[in-house]
């Protein structure tokens, strides 16, 4: 990928069930991929070439992308500043009243703040509450950063994510994925206000049941 960034992408929360298979496939497609995570035990396992959970095909892929240098494993947020795309797989879980919690995502962004750079693209790949991308975009703008925010949530079948990714997108997975992300950043605008109103309506209905 042509860019002024020395690395192509960082998967934030990349030692988990969603992030690690994605990072492995991106690295295997030739992208300079970094995993950033706070779970030091899992990071060490990954550095040692051992998968922290069962994932079909990953036991062979992980040592390969570590050996060819396409995958880096980092426990410090500084590594984000090198990467053009920041793919966040941290979600906004809801409580029993369907109220979302933004605390995990907010924490990640605060940690990342000193290491963010103009020209990066932040991709939300987890299932997030409507309005989350706008909320993050606003905060980044308040910090004076020119960073695009894209939302690209996908379901994965745990344990079979690698096969699913390949079958769904085919060929050069990451080029397809990232060019789709690029197009969305430029032209795609979800009417989040309408989505929020719809969710509020659903929440109100759930409470009266
Ligand atoms: N099948 C699906 O489509 C599916 C399944 C599960 C989860 N999800 C979504 O994906 C998200 C992640 O799920 P998962 O199964 O990968 O969870 P996971 O617990 O396996 O992985 C999450 C990772 O994020 C890391 N993390 C947490 N806080 C962090 C921080 N502040 N900075 C850096 N790393 C941090 C954790 O250490 C962990 O390794 C969820 O929020 C959920 O919305 C989708």
Three-state secondary structure string covering 32-84: CEEEECCCHHHHHHHHCCCCCCCCCCHHHHHHHHHHCCCEEEECCHHHHHHEE
- For residue 2, tell me if it sits in a domain: no
Residue 100 pLDDT: 82
Ligand 1 centroid to Cα of residue 39, in Å, is: 11
15 lines ligand 1 (CB under 6 A): yes
- For residue 187, the model assigns a pLDDT of 36
Q: Are 105 and 96 in contact (CB under 8 A)?
A: no
Nearest CA to ligand 1 atom 41: 91
Site to probe by mutation for ligand 1, drawn from 90, 94, 130, 161 as the one with most ligand atoms within 8 Å of Cβ, is: 90
Q: Which candidate, 150, 161, 208, 143, places its Cα nearest to that of 25?
A: 161
Residues in the chain where the model's pLDDT stays below 70: 1-3, 154-155, 166-203, 205-209
156 close to ligand 1 (CB < 6 Angstrom): yes
Asked if residue 185 lies in contact with residue 150, where contact means CB atoms within 8 angstroms, the answer is yes
Tell me, yes or no, whether 37 lies in a domain. yes
Let me know if residue 187 belongs to a domain. Answer: yes
* Residue 73 domain-assigned (yes or no): yes
Total domains present in the chain: 1
At 195 the pLDDT is: 61
Q: pTM for this structure?
A: 0.83
Nearest CA to ligand 1 atom 17: 16
Tell me whether residue 1 is in a domain: no
What's residue 23's pLDDT?
94
What pLDDT was estimated at residue 173? 45
pLDDT value at residue 90: 86
Q: Which atom of ligand 1 is nearest to the CA of 154?
A: 3
Structural domain range at position 21:
7-208
Residue-wise pLDDT tens digits, 119-131 = 998 988 887 888 8
Which CATH number covers residue 13? Answer: 3.40.50.720
Q: Is 74 in the pocket of ligand 1 (CB under 6 A)?
A: no
């Amino acid at each position: 990928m042509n860019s002024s960034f020395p690395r192509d992408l960082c998967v934030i929360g990349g030692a988990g069930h969603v992030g690690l298979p994605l990072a492995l496939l991106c690295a295997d497609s030739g992208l300079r991929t970094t995993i950033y995570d706070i779970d030091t035990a899992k990071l060490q396992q990954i550095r040692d070439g051992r998968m922290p959970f069962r994932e079909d095909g990953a036991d062979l892929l992980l040592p390969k992308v570590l050996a060819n240098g396409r995958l880096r494993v980092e426990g410090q947020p500084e590594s984000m500043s090198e990467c053009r795309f920041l793919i966040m797989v941290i979600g906004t879980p809801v409580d029993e009243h369907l109220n979302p919690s933004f605390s995990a995502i907010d924490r990640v962004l605060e940690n990342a703040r000193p290491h963010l750079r103009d020209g990066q693209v932040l991709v939300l790949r987890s299932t997030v509450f409507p309005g989350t991308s706008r909320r993050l975009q606003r905060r980044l703008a308040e910090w004076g950063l020119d960073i695009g925010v894209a939302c690209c949530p996908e379901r994965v079948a745990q344990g079979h994510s690698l096969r699913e990714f390949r079958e769904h997108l085919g060929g050069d997975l990451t080029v397809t994925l990232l060019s789709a992300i690029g197009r969305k950043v430029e032209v795609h605008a979800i009417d989040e206000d309408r989505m929020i109103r719809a969710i509020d309506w659903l929440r109100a209905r759930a409470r009266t049941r």
